[in-house]
Chains A and B, each alone.
Chain A
Amino acid sequence: MRKLFVLCMAAALCCTMAAGAMAEETVKIGYLAALTGDWAAYGQTEKNTAQLAVDEINAKGGIDGRKVELVVYDFRGRQEDAVNAVRRLLEEDKVSAIVGANASGINIATAALVNRAEVPQIGTVSTNPMVTVDRKGRVRPYSFRICFTDPYQGKLIAWFSAKELGKTKAAVLYDIASDYAQGLREFFIKSFKEYGGETVADEAFKGGQDVDFRAQLTKIREAGADVLVLPNMGKEMALIMKQARELGMDDLVFVGGDGYAEFMWEIAGKSMENSYWINHVSPSDPNMAKFFEDYKAKYNDECKEFVNGILGYDAMYWLFDAIDRADSTDPVKIAQALADTKDLQLHHATITMDEFHNPLNKDGIVLIAKDGKGQFFKKIKPE
């Protein structure tokens, strides 16, 4: 009996030592997700996809033999909770890097913390330029993003309209009450000119109030526009398309940004058909088919918030690659490796970092509205 006890103790001791050795070798990655509150659906999806990526890398033996450990904290969609969560990740969990959040405002709020602690943070769907640069336009050394920025999306829309569709006379109908729409419009017009096109009509409306756009559409028709750019959100774009077709503007092509939503079909009906939408990702991108299958198999649910899901998943893979290249779990070295990323093939795109920590010349995904749903059309990369 006594012998057995000693044996057990010895075994236990061995296990503890082994575990200790293991613990030293794990790579701790923090994840900032809104698991409750208004954005819970997005946050839950991101948490699931991040865990999916971690399980996959661990099944392959981890990064250089080191297992990855994911630490997820809920920020409830609020800046103050995000700041507390990040503080805890930095001070208590001592993570090597943080992925999330999925909103520009949250990333801007936590930027000061991670940059002081010198731990890299990757925003997933944080498109505002301020996420990675400070007020004076200097890059924040430890802030990164995987999505493209609002100005870049404007450029993508211009490139697609001018080069892919071969249109030279564009009209813009934008929401004057939205910073997002205004930014997209501004950068579209600038880039469209560079690609040899001309913006013949630049019209505005008030989002959330205006429902009648026929006056603006009549002007657009008079100006002879062959493509109508819609840098807005769902409802208004659907009404604009419907009213344009009712006015007999049958040849006008609609190109929009990532404001595309499935509910627009109910409003616009067949006026939606053959419109193009420049988005971050597509649910029917052939490269993502395996991801969606794996997600469904693991969580027994569709990955409905696919933009968040795919960007969260690939942000993890980007980080794995950076840790591998840095050959270290030191946050400073990982940040350097993230900044040096060049031609990295992820699942949804190939990324190269620019000096401001934004993916440079990232592939844009074009969705085409066809047969009652948004479908993958092609990947584009402007020259």
Chain B
Amino acid sequence: MATLIQQIINGLSLGSIYALIAVGYSLVYSILMFSNFAHGGFLIIGGYFCYFALNSAGFNIWIAGFGALVGAGFAAVATERLTYKPIRERTSVTLYLLIASMGMNIVIENIFVIVAGGRFRALPPVIPTTPVHLFGNATTSALDLISLVTAFVFLGGLQLFLTKTKWGLAIRAAACDLRVAGLMGVNTSKLISIVFFVAGLLAAVGGIFLSVRYTLYPQLGMITIKAFVAAVIGGLGSLPGAVVGSLILGLSEMLTAGFLSSQLRDLVVFSLLVVTLIVRPTGLFGKDVKEKV
């Protein structure tokens, strides 16, 4: 029983990190109808911003974290302006955006290989990782609990932004139909920038927590593949779907590794993806195309 509780805690904390990343995928998908594979790049941009702000500039974690979030947000906006926008203006085929995003992911990764080097970097111990005992036998680290709480705070904040603000309304309108929203007087160019800014910001939150947990290196963005799978299972374009899909994925990974075999972990994850696509191609929460956000 203690083992089960332990594995569930492990799964939830992994899932909460996936959720932060998966929501970024869903957000961009809901507006532009393509999966932005450069999201992993935004994540490492956030991680490296935070690392250098802490180590070279000597800021504390709050300022460094804030800087990393804003920096990654602007990097995401710049990526959109430089790469996706010119493509969007020339063609309406979203497949080209998808391919471009794959390229951008590699570009960003290699920029960091050149600038920062391929070696592993650990963030200074700014977030406590001490063991925390729960329910008697189960143990988790303080980092896991903090990342779980942070994930929910940011996702809650996003939900408020989408439902309570004018730009949130515009984003939801654009998620239904970007062109019509444009015709109704929404500045779509600005709207897309805001969406990318938010996606980059969320990726940076995930990036900081991932770099504390798994250390920072240019290929860290690879982990977003799992988050993307989670977004697909939850239903691409649905934010609650991204969260639920992530938690399901985190739990199934940990329970498979814990009770069956660690070798079967990825097999189960990707089988889950295939089964979802066969049984319910829109994902768990993707039932109505008109309610994507």
Spell out A's residues near B (CB within 8 Å). 176, 203-206, 209-212, 214-216, 218-219, 222, 235, 238-239, 242, 245-248, 263, 266-267, 269
Closest-by-CB residue of A relative to B3 is A222
**B95 lies within 8 A of chain A by Cβ:** no
Interface pick from B65-73, B229-237, B257-265: B257-265
24 A–B pairs (Cβ distance < 8 Å), ordered by A: A203-B262, A204-B262, A205-B262, A209-B266, A211-B223, A214-B10, A214-B14, A215-B10, A215-B255, A215-B262, A218-B3, A218-B6, A219-B257, A219-B258, A235-B120, A238-B120, A239-B214, A246-B141, A246-B143, A247-B131, A247-B139, A247-B140, A267-B215, A269-B125
Could you say which residues of chain B place their CB within 8 Å of the CB of A203? 262
Asked whether B131 lies within 8 Å of A204 as measured between CB atoms, the reply is no
Could you say which residues of chain B place their CB within 8 Å of the CB of A248? 131, 133, 139
Could you say which residues of chain A place their CB within 8 Å of the CB of B258? 215-216, 218-219
**B109 lies within 8 A of chain A by Cβ:** no
Q: Given A176-B263, A203-B262, A267-B120, decide whether A211 and B214 contact each other with a Cβ distance below 8 A.
A: yes
Other-chain contact of A218, B10, B119, B125 (Cβ < 8 Å): B10
Could you say which residues of chain A place their CB within 8 Å of the CB of B130? 246
B residues 129-163 with Cβ under 8 Å of A? 129-131, 133, 139-141, 143
- In the assembled complex, the Cα of A68 lies from the Cα of B119 at a distance in Å of 42
Q: Given A247-B131, A247-B139, decide whether A216 and B214 contact each other with a Cβ distance below 8 A.
A: no
Closest-by-CB residue of A relative to B130 is A246
- In the assembled complex, the Cα of A246 lies from the Cα of B10 at a distance in Å of 12
- Kindly list 14 other residue pairs between chains A and B, CB separation below 8 angstroms, not including A203-B262, A219-B3, A263-B119: A206-B266, A211-B223, A215-B7, A215-B262, A215-B265, A218-B6, A218-B258, A219-B258, A238-B120, A246-B129, A246-B130, A246-B143, A247-B141, A269-B125
Q: Closest Cβ of chain A: how far from B266's Cβ, in Å?
A: 7
B residues 221-262 with Cβ under 8 Å of A? 222-223, 253-258, 261-262
Closest-by-CB residue of B relative to A246 is B141
**B121 lies within 8 A of chain A by Cβ:** yes
Asked whether A216 lies within 8 Å of B131 as measured between CB atoms, the reply is no
- In the assembled complex, the Cα of A211 lies from the Cα of B223 at a distance in Å of 9
Could you say which residues of chain B place their CB within 8 Å of the CB of A209? 222, 266
Other-chain contact of B262, A216, A242, A247, A267 (Cβ < 8 Å): A216
Could you say which residues of chain B place their CB within 8 Å of the CB of A206? 266
- In the assembled complex, the Cα of A46 lies from the Cα of B20 at a distance in Å of 50
Could you say which residues of chain B place their CB within 8 Å of the CB of A210? 265
Asked whether B120 lies within 8 Å of A215 as measured between CB atoms, the reply is no
**B116 lies within 8 A of chain A by Cβ:** no
- In the assembled complex, the Cα of A124 lies from the Cα of B254 at a distance in Å of 42
Chain A facing B: main interface SS:
helix
**B122 lies within 8 A of chain A by Cβ:** yes
- In the assembled complex, the Cα of A239 lies from the Cα of B266 at a distance in Å of 19
Q: Closest Cβ of chain B: how far from A22's Cβ, in Å?
A: 50
Closest-by-CB residue of B relative to A247 is B139
Could you say which residues of chain A place their CB within 8 Å of the CB of B139? 247-248
Could you say which residues of chain B place their CB within 8 Å of the CB of A176? 263
Could you say which residues of chain B place their CB within 8 Å of the CB of A242? 129
Q: Closest Cβ of chain A: how far from B140's Cβ, in Å?
A: 8
- In the assembled complex, the Cα of A228 lies from the Cα of B257 at a distance in Å of 18
Other-chain contact of B215, A215, A216, A247, A266 (Cβ < 8 Å): A266
Q: Closest Cβ of chain A: how far from B44's Cβ, in Å?
A: 14
- In the assembled complex, the Cα of A266 lies from the Cα of B125 at a distance in Å of 11
Other-chain contact of A267, B7, B122, B266 (Cβ < 8 Å): B122
- In the assembled complex, the Cα of A242 lies from the Cα of B123 at a distance in Å of 13
Could you say which residues of chain A place their CB within 8 Å of the CB of B7? 215, 218
For B130, B262, B266, the residue with the greatest tally of chain A CB atoms inside 10 Å of its CB is B262
Other-chain contact of A269, B122, B255, B266 (Cβ < 8 Å): B122
- In the assembled complex, the Cα of A266 lies from the Cα of B119 at a distance in Å of 10
Closest-by-CB residue of B relative to A206 is B266
- In the assembled complex, the Cα of A216 lies from the Cα of B265 at a distance in Å of 11
Q: Closest Cβ of chain B: how far from A339's Cβ, in Å?
A: 42
Q: Given A218-B258, A267-B122, decide whether A246 and B131 contact each other with a Cβ distance below 8 A.
A: yes
Could you say which residues of chain A place their CB within 8 Å of the CB of B3? 218-219, 222
Give the top 9 A-B pairs by smallest Cβ distance, nearest first: A215-B257, A248-B131, A246-B141, A248-B139, A211-B214, A215-B258, A214-B10, A215-B254, A267-B215
Could you say which residues of chain A place their CB within 8 Å of the CB of B141? 246-247
Q: Closest Cβ of chain A: how far from B80's Cβ, in Å?
A: 28
Closest-by-CB residue of A relative to B261 is A204
Could you say which residues of chain B place their CB within 8 Å of the CB of A266? 120-122, 215
Could you say which residues of chain A place their CB within 8 Å of the CB of B214? 211-212, 239
Q: Closest Cβ of chain B: how far from A233's Cβ, in Å?
A: 12
For A203, A214, A263, the residue with the greatest tally of chain B CB atoms inside 10 Å of its CB is A214
- In the assembled complex, the Cα of A204 lies from the Cα of B266 at a distance in Å of 12
For A204, A215, A235, A248, the residue with the greatest tally of chain B CB atoms inside 10 Å of its CB is A215
Could you say which residues of chain B place their CB within 8 Å of the CB of A215? 7, 10, 253-258, 262, 265
Closest-by-CB residue of A relative to B141 is A246
Q: Closest Cβ of chain A: how far from B213's Cβ, in Å?
A: 8
